Structure 1
Amino acid sequence: MNPFDAVILGIIQGLTEFLPISSSAHVQIAQQALGLGDMSKPQLTAFIATIQLGTELAVLIYFWRDIVRIIRAFFGSFSKRRPQTIEAAKDAKMGWLIILGSLPVVVIGLVFQDLIENQLRSLWVIGVTLIVFGLLLGAADRFGKRQKGIDSLTTRDGLLFGLGQALAVIPGVSRSGGTISVGLMMGYSRQAAARYSFLLAIPAVIASGFYQFAKTYQDLATADLAATAVATLVSFGVGYSVIVVLLKYLNRGSFLPFVIWRVALGSTLLVLLSTGALSA
């Protein structure tokens, strides 16, 4: 892969990671439709998982204060030397909920790893999931009560958020789209669902990215490793900007534009595949 291809894929990753439209789907569509880089499906899966580390670094920096506070409160909850404040107790609970919510995607990712890297990595699958889960997001956004804040999280809700995130192992579903849809269905506000989605993704994305990189880097040429590094850095810069804009937008805006985009892109993809204009 050359540096130009890496920059393009890094920009696409950064633009789409936090939007409920599936970054992995967009990176794969661009890679196959535009011929960016020459990668097998397992290599593409590893590439996508690795460059997601860039966008996850953006999350770590943007939510740095929240993350440090949650970690301190979480480990502080094991100490009985001094009682926790109400706020510290909430932060410790958030730490537990993030751990609990991360379990489904870890289990499903390991059990169905071969299926995810090969059979499901098809543009036919992506086209269908873009449409189906786009419509589910639209329904959740339209009919959800959107009254709960992030402080209303319970153990049950944390697990259900995690199951929503686990759906993202299917290309085209979207990690943020799955968790946000579940959150909206449970009555959480748009911003609360998105905010928790970002925090919940941290353990899973970091673990997956380093695991895939460690598993595949020896099989990659120096140029491919350099291109992956470039794409990761680019995705970080673009991704940080998207977080800032998206959270401000969700104070008033709806998810309808993303629903329309998902359905339009999925439909176009299926038409191109059906006519033979694009190969799966």
Structure 2
Amino acid sequence: MLWYQIVFLAVIQGLTEFLPISSSAHLILPAQLLDWQDQGLAFDVAVHVGTLTAIVGYFRKDIAQIIVAWCVSIKDRRSTPDSRLAWWIVIATIPACVAGLLLGGFIETHLRSLEVIAYTTIGFGVLLWLSDLYGKTTKTEQDFGWKSVLCIGFAQALALIPGTSRSGITMTAARFLGFTRESAARFSFLLSIPLILAAGGLKTVELVSSNVLVDWTSIVMGVVLSAISAYLCIYLFLKWLNKIGFFPFFVYRLMLGGVLLLIVYL
């Protein structure tokens, strides 16, 4: 990979992992428009490490409190807001894990087309906007219960379909359930940690068991750039979310989906 390809792909991955605009749609465009080769397994591992570093670094205090509270709740059977949040994250992660195990092969074979990504980018973008337009803003993280958490978890499982956007669909579900923008975004970000860790772990196992030669310069650049871009993305998104809402992301997804459809049909 050339240096500008590394920079572009690492930054795009860092941004789109957490913005509700679909990382798969963005990572497929360079190959289609610029005839770039696939970035390879080692680089995928690198950007997963980078985005995981960013999310853990940003929420480090919250994560520490949640883990401690969760361990105490298991040991002493004492419930606190932090321990409940830990359990909600665990419960909401289960549907995506089960769906990945059962349907991962089918999705990989039949749903990774540019046409599917174009329509899901547009369709789930519309749902994102409607959830923000009509969803009530009455609930915070203290109002999560097992029903709402399972709804968000099943929504997250839909993100296995390319173009959906994991962060987008989980925030959409939370907004339809009446949660504030900030609560929806924060829970979505925390919920990403187990899946990024699992995806990165699987790719690492694949990399170790393969005979791929690793370009360590590309790897280091990928980790650093994806971590920096993801951290800035999280910070700015949470800072501006209440001011701008989800409408700009809806418009952007419509434009992106339109470009993809032009590529498909022209």
| TM-score of the alignment, normalized to the shorter chain, above 0.5 | yes
Task: Return the offset for 1:222.
Answer: 2.3
Q: d(CA) in 2 for partners of 1:67 and 1:220?
A: 34
Aligned residue number for residue 151 of structure 2: 160
Task: Return the offset for 1:271.
Answer: 1.4
Aligned residue number for residue 120 of structure 1: 111
Aligned residue number for residue 264 of structure 1: 255
Aligned residue number for residue 246 of structure 1: 237
Q: Deviations for 1:106-165, whole angstroms, at most 9, x for unmatched residues?
A: 111122222333432221111010000001111111100021111111011111111111
Aligned residue number for residue 15 of structure 2: 15
Aligned residue number for residue 28 of structure 2: 28
Task: Give the AA of the match of 2:9.
Answer: L
Q: Say whether the 8 Å CA contact 1:2–1:37 is kept in structure 2.
A: no
Q: Deviations for 1:179-237, whole angstroms, at most 9, x for unmatched residues?
A: 000000000011110000000110011111111221145243323x6534432321111
Q: d(CA) in 1 for partners of 2:251 and 2:206?
A: 37
Is 1:67 equivalent to 2:63 in the alignment? yes
- Describe how 1:193-212 pairs up with structure 2 within 5 A: 193-212=184-203
| SS in structure 2 of the partner of residue 250 of structure 1 | helix
Q: d(CA) in 2 for partners of 1:107 and 1:33?
A: 34
Task: Give the AA of the match of 2:127.
Answer: L
Task: Return the offset for 1:173.
Answer: 0.4
Aligned residue number for residue 4 of structure 1: 4
Task: Give the AA of the match of 1:107.
Answer: V
- Scaled by the length of structure 1, the TM-score of the pair is 0.88
Q: d(CA) in 1 for partners of 2:138 and 2:11?
A: 34
Q: Say whether the 8 Å CA contact 1:21–1:177 is kept in structure 2.
A: yes
Is 1:78 equivalent to 2:69 in the alignment? no
Q: d(CA) in 1 for partners of 2:34 and 2:219?
A: 17
Q: d(CA) in 2 for partners of 1:213 and 1:37?
A: 20
Distance change in 2, residues 1:228/1:127 (3 Å):
farther
Aligned residue number for residue 94 of structure 2: 103
**Could you say what the CA RMSD is over the residues aligned between the two structures, in angstroms?**
2.0
Task: Return the offset for 1:35.
Answer: 2.5
Aligned residue number for residue 221 of structure 1: 213
Task: Give the AA of the match of 2:7.
Answer: V
Aligned residue number for residue 278 of structure 1: none
- Scaled by the length of structure 2, the TM-score of the pair is 0.92
How many residues are paired up? 265
Aligned residue number for residue 54 of structure 2: 58
Q: What is the percentage of aligned positions where both structures have the same residue?
A: 38
Which consecutive residues of structure 2, in runs of 5 or more, have no partner in the other structure?
Answer: none
Q: Say whether the 8 Å CA contact 1:51–1:229 is kept in structure 2.
A: no
| SS in structure 1 of the partner of residue 159 of structure 2 | helix
Q: Deviations for 1:9-68, whole angstroms, at most 9, x for unmatched residues?
A: 0011112221100112211222332233346xxx57x85465233112111011000000
Is 1:151 equivalent to 2:142 in the alignment? yes
